[in-house]
């Protein structure tokens, strides 16, 4: 206690009373851990976004392949319909119908009969 009284009575000297600088904030180990977690989160986010982009691109490629397949099917059906239309024209031509009628033993009518509408 005598020492304390002696210290209090001595004149104040700034160099002796200057406090040691204390670290303010987060300790170094915790800072490194937070940096590691932040980098890990950023890297996993980048990988996740990359995988998402690849999936979107592969879905777009699948859709494009399906569109190409449907376009080929439409082109093929159009060609087939055109062939069938030509065959209908050929089969329903008057000269062909006349020949087919003769082959079956039919003769043209002597007179044309019209039915009256009721």
For residue 68, the model assigns a pLDDT of 97
DSSP per-residue letters across 76-92: HHHHHHHHHHHHHHHHT
Q: Is 3 helix (H, G, I), strand (E, B) or coil?
A: helix
Confidence of residue 30 (pLDDT cuts 50, 70, 90): confident
**pLDDT of 39 higher than 90:** yes
Inter-CA distances, 111 with 101, 108, 114, 115, Å: 17, 9, 10, 13
**pLDDT of 16 higher than 70:** no
For residue 112, the model assigns a pLDDT of 83
Q: Give the integer Cα–Cα distance in Å for 33 and 49.
A: 24
DSSP per-residue letters across 31-67: HHHHHHHHHHHHHHHHHHHHHHHHHHHHHHHHHHHHH
For residue 59, the model assigns a pLDDT of 96
For residue 29, the model assigns a pLDDT of 80
Highest mean pLDDT among 1-15, 64-78, 101-115: 64-78
């Amino acid at each position: 206690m005598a020492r304390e009284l002696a210290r209090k009575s001595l004149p104040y000297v700034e160099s002796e009373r200057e406090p040691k600088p204390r670290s303010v904030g987060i300790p170094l180990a915790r800072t490194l851990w937070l940096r590691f977690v932040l980098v890990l989160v950023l890297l996993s986010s980048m990988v996740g976004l990359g995988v998402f982009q690849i999936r979107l691109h592969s879905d777009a490629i699948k859709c494009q392949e399906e569109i190409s397949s449907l376009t080929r099917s439409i082109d093929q059906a159009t060609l087939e319909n055109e062939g069938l239309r030509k065959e209908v024209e050929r089969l329903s031509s008057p000269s062909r119908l006349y020949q087919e009628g003769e082959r079956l033993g039919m003769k043209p009518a002597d007179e044309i009969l019209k039915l009256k509408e009721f």
